[in-house]
Amino acid sequence: MLLQLPKPTGARWCALGVPILAGLLLPACLVDLDDRCGKQQRYDAQQAICTCDGDYALVGNECEPCAENEVGSSDGCVCAPGFARPTPDAACEELAGLGQECGSDAACGDESYGYCRLEVAAEPGYCTATECSTSEDCPTDYGCNTRQSPSFCERPPQGLGQACSSSDDCAGNVASYCETVVARSCVVNDCAPDPSKCHGDWLCCDIDLLSQSLCIPPSELEEGNCPAGGVLVPRQE
């Protein structure tokens, strides 16, 4: 004779079923939230996805290490800030800064100095700023050259501003004259015969007191006049 068990009520079925379902589902729900991603990956909470670590990029289904001077991105390995590829297949190279040698704009780093000024085709150019109006738009002793298009901050001549006590200290420089009265530094002199010796928008002043004509920045003019009673020598266009 078969033993007849009482039929469980709905509440009893629920009580029996919950432990069984919990036992079945529990192993599948256990997730280590501190280690939810794979090797060389991290969890992006904002996008709720796993992404490759900074120096890795997704190649197929795995995060592969990037080369030197590269970082991972959604587009694969790209050059780190301050580096660029001279050609698409080349390694990432450090970008040039203000005044450093370059062969093209792409070689210049800081966006503020992202213009490669090429003066002689066979020689490297230098990185500088562009679209200036006056020397006040340029760094240090760079002068704004508005005679070219685009206008650019022209680098100072070699030796300009170098401390000196006599012109012997300036020997070998383009700025070969030591101005000992005020600046006590090397400057470009003898510009009266050719004021274009003055870089950028710097001006040529013929100063009788010094028996010299010197290149000076526009900021040193006194109400539009050369200092020390000098005479402004116009640049020949």
21 pLDDT more than 50: no
Task: Locate 149 and state its tokens.
Answer: 């298009």
Angstrom distance (rounded) from CA 46 to CA 36: 15
pTM value is 0.62
- Sheet of 115-117: strand order equals 101-102, 125-128, 115-117
Q: Rounded to an integer, what distance in angstroms lies between the CA atom of residue 105 and that of residue 170?
A: 33
Q: How far apart are CA 128 and CA 97, in angstroms?
A: 8
Higher pLDDT, 134 or 26: 134
- The C-alpha atoms of residue 57 and residue 51 are separated, in whole angstroms, by 9
Has residue 68 got a pLDDT over 70?
yes
What is the pLDDT of the chain when averaged over all its residues? Answer: 81
pLDDT tens digits for range 162-188: 999 999 999 999 999 999 988 789 999
Average pLDDT of the residues in 5-24: 44
Q: What is the pLDDT of residue 190?
A: 97
More confident residue, 212 or 22: 212
> Residue 35's pLDDT is what?
63
Confidence class of residue 1 from pLDDT cuts 50, 70 and 90?
very low
User: Mind listing the pLDDT tens digit for each residue in 207-227?
Assistant: 999 899 999 999 999 999 999
Q: What is the pLDDT of residues 52-65, one digit of tens each?
A: 776 787 776 778 88
| pLDDT for 15 | 41
pLDDT digits 0-9 by tens, 106-162 = 888 778 899 999 988 778 999 999 999 999 999 989 999 999 999 999 999 999 999
DSSP bridge partners of 177: 187
Q: Do the beta carbons of residue 195 and residue 233 sit within 8 Å?
A: yes
Would you state the structure tokens that stand for residue 208, as one six-digit string? Answer: 């009788």
Q: Distance between CA atoms of 155 and 141, rounded to whole angstroms?
A: 7
- What is the percent of the chain with per-residue pLDDT over 70, rounded to a whole number? 78
Residue 117: beta bridge partners?
Answer: 126
Cα dist from 237 to 33, 133, 154, 221, whole Å? 72, 18, 17, 21
